[in-house]
Amino acid sequence: MADTGRAGQTLENYPLYIRSVPTENELKFHYTVHTSLDVVDEKISAMGKALVDQRELYLGLLYPTEDYKVYGYVTNSKVKFVMVVDSSNTALRDNEIRSMFRKLHNSYTDIMCNPFYNPGDRIHSRAFDNMVNSMMMQVC
Amino acid sequence: GWMNKHLNLVPALVVVFYELDWDEPQWKEKQSECATRVEIVRQSLQGRNTKVAVVLIQKKTPLPPGEDVIASERAAALCNACDLSGKSLFVLPHTDHLVGYIIRLENAFYEHAQTYYYTEIRRVKSHKEFLNKTTHQLLFVRHQFKIAFFSELKQDTQNALKNYRTAYNLVHELRAHETNMLEIKTMAGFINYKICRLCFQHNTPLDAIAQFRKHIDLCKKKIGSAELAFEHAAWMSKQFQAFGDLFDEAIKLGLTAIQTQNPGFYYQQAAYYAQERKQLASMLCNHDSSVIYPNPDPLETQTGVLDFYGQRPWRQGILSFDLSDPEKEKMGILSLQLKEKNVLHSELIITLLSNAVAQFKKYKCPRMKSHLMVQMGEEYYYAKDYAKALKLLDYVMCEYRSEGWCTLLTSILTTALKCSYLMAQLKDYITYSLELLGRASTLKEDQKSRIEKNLIKVLMNESPDPEPDCDTAAVKASQKLWADRVSLAGSNVFTIEVQDFIPFVQCKAKFLAPSFHVDVPVQFDVYLRADCPHPIRFSKLCISFNNQDYNQYCVVEEAYQKSDILEQSSQGTMCLVPGKTRKFTFKFVAKTEDVGKKIEITSVDLILGSESGRCVILNWRGGGGDAASSQEALQAARSFRRRPKLPDNEVHWDSLTIQASTMIISRVPNISVQLRHEPPALTNEMYCLIVTVQSHEDTVAKDVKLTAGLKPGQDANLTQKTQVTLHGTDACDESFPALLPDIPVGDLQPGEKLEKPIYIRCGTVGARMFLVYVSYLIDTIVEGKEILCKCHRDETVTIETVFPFDVAVKFVSTKLEHLDRVFADIPFLLMTDILSASPWPLTIVTTQLQLSPSMTPVDQLESYVENVVLQTGESASECFCLRCPPVTNASGVATGCYIISWKRSSPVESVPVVSTVITLPHVIVESIPLHVNADLPSFGRVRESLPVRYHLQNKTDLVQDVEVSVEPSDAFMFSGLKQFLGTTISAE
């Protein structure tokens, strides 16, 4: 059983999309995702501007807590993805996480390609929902 | 028990200090006294292995060893007497190098102490050898720990660490059972602490962290007795806290921590476990008040202390896993539970959280800090310290608001609302309600509805219903507080500034135009929109401006007549319907003093409630907008979404933009200003610009004033080279201004026309902008009010200035050959050529040649071009015959100047004549020794003789020899002298 909360965020750091399974204790995951932005910010600023093009989008494990692992991913346009998984879930290794992020990123790009989507709005997309659902199903 | 003994009670080394010199006369007595003292010390040590040493304090500097025979003899004797080895006898000479001796002594003592601990370790090790793994498992741990402990005392930290690690592993090999779980955990925790501390000391923080992680992973599940689960949580909390403390201490000693690995995380985790402990305690220790503490106290032991750490006081020294006395066990657990009840959990949690906050602040984790502060706030709330809770929550709220995390903000606001309810803090209660009803809140509709009802109650000066999930006792207390508030009259008006949060009423004010003419009423709309679930009434809407005189015109009040509000809504004017945008149109007449100024809305006040109940003034600074609206406006601007069509009287909220200021500009002038002139202007002429002003006003235009001249703000040089005057007859000089301001012209009757010529003199060529500005006063009536308006119209015109003519000057000989230099005393001609460049005909009134003293005219200098009219492109030439006496100056001689007096050929006689002075070029004058002048007839006939006479003129003072030869051309035959030699005498 894994708890997975995910959020895409813009530069202004408000959540575009956030979802967690199971839904109880959701608030706690919101807080976890929010606090993880500290580390994301720090990592982005540490990377500097020089290597914007070649830099790795996947930030890796942001910080370990007693019960959860928090991973981060930042697109070139500084949209942040955060994933929180149960630390007891050993099936998820770095590679799996990385490919999950890539999937998320692709799906997000699809949303951005939608001419009716307004960058910065909260995401209400069935395709994105389905993708996230299937990903969570896999993990759990 | 024994640790304290070895730390504080049993010494490793006892040193007896004794004042005794080697040459002491009463040596024998002293020696025996010293020996007695040593004996006393020995006896009091009671056979422990403690080392004894003697230090003799001496007044004399000792001689080098071996030289002082008495000394070595006596030393040996003393050793004998005291039963000491020679190594344990020291001398401390009380002389100059005291510090050096003391350091040496210290090292020596240290060595002795180490030896002592070494033997202790050996002793323990020898005990261990007799043990066997199956029966003496517990003792294995004990001895291993003892060895490590003595190693630490020996200051051999590496070995100590090694031994602690072994001990730690041994602890986990023990068979764990509910009865000894606490003991095992206590020991494990203790050893873990020691290991981590030593790791930090060895500057291997990663080892420390790894050990701690291992420790936690191993012990996490060892809960022990379910009835005492809170004990486990407390223990876990303690582990994390202790590690956090160790980590923090290491940092203070120079270790550097990073954002993702700092003591804050451990304090945070400790706080979590403390929270868990609190939960467990509240679950397990909810005994009735009738349950009394067992007597005799099972937690009391006979000695008052425990024999072994971590054992139950009522079950000491029992190794069996079976419960020998279930009754006793029960009493013990009960007493522990009752004790737990008295623990102030919140205080513990808050301390840990605030420790964590301090750490995260250091390591750049602002959001983590905020999160922990929220938790602290919540904990204060549970601890019923609502004031502190509110303070903390209020502090972090804005961060969540500005980052747009609505769910989190809503949860914080909900807690804050509870706090403010329980304290009956009116203003806070209202503020949080406003925001919880707003669009940033993610509360469910029924929650919002409940809050709105409460808010309405508060506005009507009644007590609101209690918030859900509040402590019943606290609710009782707060209800009383609310009742007091209700009975308390006065101080019932609250002004709430909304730009710092997101209230449920949104406001946008918008002037209909970016500028208004003063004779037109200023109009603006205020749009209001409520996000709450039920319609809400307000009692007043008023707008304040930077000029407060207008405030009185822009008020909507309940008492007002319907006609004052332009747009009606079916729900009544003073009611805001959720989701609908209400528009209020205001209109006022601007004051004439404000022409050219900006009128700004400084604030919009919406008053909820009434004076009789409670009054809440929502105050929007500027033209509305709150903490979230700028972001929303940005999103709306980016959006391509088509908005559905709405009926005409409704508007899309997102499409409204705030326009909080407008300019008041002067009334549109109803006069015409025309300029008549003949461009281009000619340099230095008095250029005539005729201004025609015609009034189209219906009433008299009073106090008409004309401002004309060079438009300000151009090149400064132009100002000096441009003069403007009203009188064209006389030429003006440099002292005239470039701009004539406010020339009074009098009043203009309706339809009257006025002409005014203005003369401009431009000293240089180029384009200039001229401004003609006509202002006047007029009475008008706006909205039934008579106002005196100042109107003005301005015209600008760009006038090009050109040279009227080009003057070319050349020097030619009397034979009209071009000269680039002239010869002294030989006459030459100066030719001037005036080429008209003006598009208008020019009249040359006269010309005048003013020669410099070095030039002399050969004949009369009179003008040949007087009253000549030149059309464009025509030119007028004249020439003057001049002569130049010889000069010594080789570079050239000034010729003089040429003055042309001219004017535009115009039927008007009054056009003044302009004199243009042209400085003639310098000419090089050359002296020549001999001047040859041929006297040729003007024509000859074929086959007839042509007499030619040559005049030779000596221009020098000297006699010159000349040889003349004549070379005829092929067209001529020659007669007369062809060659001769002669002498010319000087001319004088």
Nearest residue on chain A to B364, alpha-carbon basis: A38
The pair of three-digit structure tokens given for residue B794, joined into one six-digit string? 């301005």
Would you say the ipTM is above 0.85?
Answer: yes
> In this structure, what token pair is assigned to residue B972?
């001529």
Using CB atoms, pick whichever of A18, A27, A42 lies closest to residue B411. A27
Q: What is the pLDDT of residue A10?
A: 47
Tell me the C-alpha distance between B30 and B828, whole Å. 143
Q: What pLDDT, in 10s, does the model give residues B208-227?
A: 888 888 888 888 777 777 77
Q: What local confidence, expressed as pLDDT, does residue B255 receive?
A: 82
Q: Mean per-residue pLDDT for A82-109?
A: 83
Interface of B with A in 613-672 (CB under 8 A): 631, 634-635, 638-641
Tokens representing residue B214 in the block: 């291992």
pLDDT bucket at A11, cuts 50 / 70 / 90:
very low
Is pLDDT above 70 for B648? no
Tokens 């008052």 belong to B304
Q: What pLDDT is attached to residue B305?
A: 64
AA identity, residue B413: L
CB contact at 8 A, B145 and B308: no
- Residue B801, pLDDT > 80, answer yes
Q: What percent of chain B has pLDDT over 70?
A: 90
Asked if the model's pLDDT at residue B564 lies above 70, the reply is no
Burial of B686 (0-12, 13-18, 19+ CB in 10 A): buried
Largest CA distance in chain B: 177
Question: Residue B291 — very low, low, confident or very high, per pLDDT cuts 50/70/90?
Answer: confident
Separation of alpha carbons A130 and A110, rounded Å: 13
Task: Yes or no: say if B755 and B678 are a contact pair by the CB < 8 Å rule.
Answer: no
Written as six digits, the tokens of B936 are 């040729």
CB B408 to CB A30 under 8 A? yes
- Chain B CB within 8 Å of residue A15 CB: yes
Q: Do A115 and B640 touch (CB under 8 A)?
A: yes
Residue numbers in B near A38 (CB within 8 A):
259, 364-368
Per-residue pLDDT band for B322 (boundaries 50, 70, 90) equals: low
Contact B458, B492 (CB under 8 A): no
Report the gap between the CA of A115 and the closest CA in chain B (Å).
8
Quickly list H helices, B404-524.
Answer: 406-423, 426-436, 445-459, 472-487
Please provide the average confidence, as pLDDT, over all residues in chain B.
Answer: 81
Show the tokens assigned to B959. Answer: 């006699």
B306: pLDDT strictly greater than 70? no
B421, B450 Cβ separation under 8 angstroms: no
Inform me whether the pLDDT recorded for A105 exceeds 70.
Answer: yes
pLDDT band at A1; cut points 50, 70, 90: very low
DSSP helix/strand/coil, B247: helix
Summarize pLDDT for B8-53 with one digit per residue, the tens: 777 778 888 877 777 777 777 877 888 888 888 888 777 677 778 8
Whose CA is closest to B871, among B896, B901, B839, B919?
A: B839
Please write down the HEC assignment for all residues of B558-594: CCCCHHHCCCCCCCCCCEECECCEEEEEEEECCCHHH
Q: Average pLDDT, stretch A100-126? A: 84
DSSP output for B636-661: HHH--PPPPP--TT---TTT---B-E
Considering only CA atoms, which of B774, B796, B908, B894 is closest in space to residue B843? B908
SS3 state at B152? helix
* Average pLDDT over every residue of B268-272: 88
Reduced to 3 states, what is the DSSP secondary structure of residue B876? strand
- Helix (H) or strand (E) holding B675, with range, is strand B671-676
pLDDT digits (tens, 9 = 90+) for B897-922: 899 888 888 766 667 788 888 888 88
State yes or no: pLDDT of B198 exceeds 80: yes
Q: Using CB atoms, which residue from A14, A120, A121 is nearest to B405?
A: A14
What is the model's pLDDT at position B613?
73
Nearest to B13 by CA among B109, B121, B91: B109
Give the minimum alpha-carbon distance from A3 to chain B in angstroms, rounded to a whole number. Answer: 18
Strands across the sheet containing B701-710 = B681-682, B785-802, B766-782, B701-710, B739-748
Six-digit token string for B470: 């509040």
Chain A and chain B share a number of CB contacts under 8 A equal to: 65
- The pLDDT value recorded for residue A48 is 64
Q: Does B297 or B157 have the greater pLDDT score?
A: B157
d(CA B407, CA B374): 13
Query: Looking at the predicted structure, is the pLDDT value of residue B632 above 50?
Result: yes
Q: How far is the C-alpha of B302 from the C-alpha of B295, rounded, in Å?
A: 15
| Residues forming beta bridges with residue B606, ordered by sequence position | B541, B618
Measure CA of the first residue to CA of the last residue in chain A; give whole Å: 5
Q: Above 80 in pLDDT, residue B704?
A: yes
- Range B787-812 average pLDDT: 88
Mutation target vs A (from B209, B240, B371, B373; most A CBs, 10 A cutoff): B371
Higher model confidence: residue B750 or residue B306? B750
The alpha carbon of residue A105 is apart from the nearest alpha carbon of chain B, in Å, by: 22
Across residues B864-869, what is the average pLDDT? 85
CB contacts of B411 in chain A (<8 Å) are 27
* Cβ contact B635–A35 (<8 Å): no
Amino acid B566: pLDDT: 38
Predicted pLDDT at B568: 42
d(CA B771, CA B712): 8
Over range A59-76, report the average pLDDT: 81
**Secondary structure E strands in B20-125:** 51-58, 89-93
CA distance A81 to chain B (A): 15
- Tell me phi and psi for residue B793, to 5 degrees: -130, 140
pLDDT at B558 over 80: no
Phi, psi of B570 (to 5 degrees): -65, -25
- List % helix, strand, coil for chain B (3-state, nearest 5): 35, 30, 35
Output the pLDDT for position B51. Answer: 78
Residue B699 has pLDDT above 50, yes or no: yes
Q: Which of B641-650, B712-721, B763-772 has the highest mean pLDDT?
A: B763-772
Cβ-based contacts of A31 with chain B (< 8 Å): 371, 374, 408
pLDDT above 90 as % of chain B: 0
Which tops the pLDDT comparison, B151 or B668?
Answer: B668
Most trustworthy range by pLDDT among A45-49, B73-77, B111-115, B693-697? B693-697
pLDDT value for B907: 66
Mean pLDDT value of segment B848-874: 85
Find out whether B501 and B400 touch, Cβ atoms under 8 Å.
no
Which tens digits make up the pLDDT trace of B813-846?
Answer: 888 888 888 888 888 888 889 998 888 888 888 8
Q: B154 or B116, which is more confident?
A: B116
**Which of A31, A40, A42, A62 is most worth mutating to test chain B (most B CB atoms within 10 A of its CB)?**
A31
| pLDDT value at residue B988 | 46
Most confident of A83-92, B266-275, B578-587, B718-727: B266-275
Q: Once rounded to an integer, what is the mean pLDDT over residues B400-421?
A: 86
Q: What is the pLDDT confidence band of residue B316, given thresholds at 50, 70 and 90?
A: low
Query: pLDDT value at position B685?
Result: 85
Is the CB of B367 less than 8 angstroms away from the CB of A35?
yes
β-pairing, B681-682 vs B785-802, is: parallel
Residues of B in contact with A42 (CB under 8 A): 259, 364
Q: Are residues B882 and B828 in contact, defined by beta-carbon separation less than 8 angstroms?
A: yes
Digit-coded pLDDT (tens) for B48-100: 777 788 787 777 766 666 666 777 777 777 777 777 777 777 777 777 777 88
For residue A21, the model assigns a pLDDT of 74
With 60 as the cut, is the pLDDT of residue A39 above it? Answer: yes
Q: State which amino acid sits at residue B49.
A: N
Question: What's the average model confidence in pLDDT over B467-490?
Answer: 81
CB-CB under 8 Å, B641 with A119: no
CA angle B613, B615, B617 (to 5 degrees): 170
| pLDDT of amino acid B585 | 86
